[in-house]
Amino acid sequence: MSDEVGPRAPSGPAGAWRLVLSEPADGARNMAVDEAIFRARAEGLAPPTLRLYAWRPPAVSLGRFQALDERIDVSAIEGRGYGLVRRPTGGRAILHAVELTYSVVVRETDVAGGEALMASYREISRGIELGLAYLGVEAALGSGGEGAGAREKALPTICFAKAARCDLVADGRKVVGSAQTRSRGVILQHGSVPLTIDLDDLLAVLPGPRDRPLAERRRKVREAAVGVCELVGRPVALDELSGAVRLGFARALNVVLRAGELLPEEEAWAEELAATKYGAHEWTEKAPPRDDAA
């Protein structure tokens, strides 16, 4: 990565970021905490924050405006005891099972190039990229200077069957799927780093277009997505990946990560948001506004 990126605004004392290591939680809680931090950063209460978390039980998350249609099998999700939640960010459905999830909440001025969408993706992704490099995985953004090779193999999907230009690709397959939302000069970027991908499980809950043979859909996803363990060639524990990602962020973005807890305000907002928004059917099942208007 080059160093020609624009001036870096101070991100707190000596470039200090808060590191929040959350206990595994359900989908509503996980999304609520991300939004609570987002709100706290907007109000100047919270410092730039890297949060690392996992999902228990596993859950399917939908993009902010994604239709909840037949390509998402709600009865299969419920039958497995999995959760279903709608994210505040865009993009497509993800099954969060055996994975590490990260979220970064910063002001646009906290990161180099923060005001521009792709530049901010590039900057924030450098942390994950370096973290993966510590495990021996060479990953790069889906396109943009990497040539067409990486993109050509990447297939469209429900999130992990297609690599977009802001996703990290390794060995021609998507290994990190990320999404952003921005409001009032604050960025929330979160993303999913699967350790392993269970294709049967994934296609059961996110079948995609059922008019295509299962074998074809299976092959497409297998060719398009990969977990960290397969890339590394050995079992990698969540803690090991988490440690590598932390180190990657600290070094790549040149920040000091200080372990911290959520602020009382963030806790209160997270509880409220989990109960009234992310845990509510109205939010999860909401049809896109254009359908409402019809």
Partner 1 sequence: MFPEDLRYHEGHAWVREDGEELTIGVSQYAADEMGEVIFAELPEEGAELERDEPYGSIESAKAVEDLVAPVSGTVVRRNEAVLDAPETINDEPYGEGWLIVVRAEEDGGLDSLLSADEYRAHVGAPDAEDTVEEEEEEEALEDEEELGFDEDE
Task: Single out the catalytic residue among 37, 111, 159, 179.
Answer: 159
- Looking at the Cβ atoms of 157 and 242, the one nearer to partner 1 is 157
Is 159 known to be catalytic? yes
Helix (H, G, I), strand (E, B) or coil at 262: coil
Smallest gap from residue 195 Cβ to partner 1 (A) = 23
Task: Specify the residue, 100 or 164, whose C-beta has the smaller distance to partner 1.
Answer: 164
Is there a contact between 100 and 241 (Cβ–Cβ < 8 Å)? yes
Q: Which residue from 61, 178, 192, 242 is in contact with partner 1, where contact means CB under 8 A?
A: 178
DSSP lists the bridge partners of residue 212 as none
Distance between CA atoms of residues 32 and 277, nearest Å: 8
Shortest distance, position 136 Cβ to partner 1, whole Å = 27
Site for partner 1 in 144-173 (CB under 8 A): 144, 148, 151-152, 154-158, 161-162, 164-166
Angstrom CA distances, 32 to 100, 164, 178, 253, stand at 17, 25, 17, 26
Residue 180 touches partner 1, criterion: CB under 8 A = yes
Nearest to 31 by CA among 84, 67, 91, 74: 84
- Nearer Cβ to partner 1, position 19 or 62? 62
CA separation for the pair 145, 283 (Å, rounded)? 38
Least distance (Å) from partner 1 to the CB of residue 293? 8
Residue closer to partner 1 (CB basis): 117 or 256: 117
Helix-, strand-, coil-residue percentages of the chain, each rounded to 5: 40, 20, 40
CA torsion sign for 158, 26, 129, 218 is negative
Q: What is the closest distance, in whole angstroms, from the C-beta atom of residue 101 to partner 1 in the complex?
A: 16
| Other CB atoms within 10 Å distance of the CB of residue 163 | 28
Based on CB atoms, which residue is closest to partner 1, 19 or 203? 203
End-to-end CA distance of the chain: 48
Tell me which of 63, 83, 248, 279 binds partner 1, using CB under 8 A. 63
* Residues between 240 and 279 with contacts to partner 1, criterion CB under 8 A: none
Cα–Cα distance between 37 and 17 in angstroms, integer?
13
Of 18, 86, 92, 126, the residue at the interface with partner 1 (CB under 8 A) is 92
User: Would you say 251 or 286 has its CB closer to partner 1?
Assistant: 286
60, 65, 53: which is closest to 79 by C-alpha?
60
Distance CA 275, CA 64 (A): 18
Using CB under 8 A, which of 179, 241, 270, 273 touches partner 1?
A: 179
Residue 130 CB, nearest approach to partner 1 (Å): 21
- Determine how many CB atoms are found less than 10 A away from the CB of residue 210: 11
Report, as residue numbers or ranges, the catalytic residues.
159
The site for partner 1 (CB under 8 A) is made up of 63-65, 67, 71, 88-92, 116-118, 121, 143-144, 148, 151-152, 154-158, 161-162, 164-166, 178-184, 208-209, 212, 217, 220, 288-290, 293
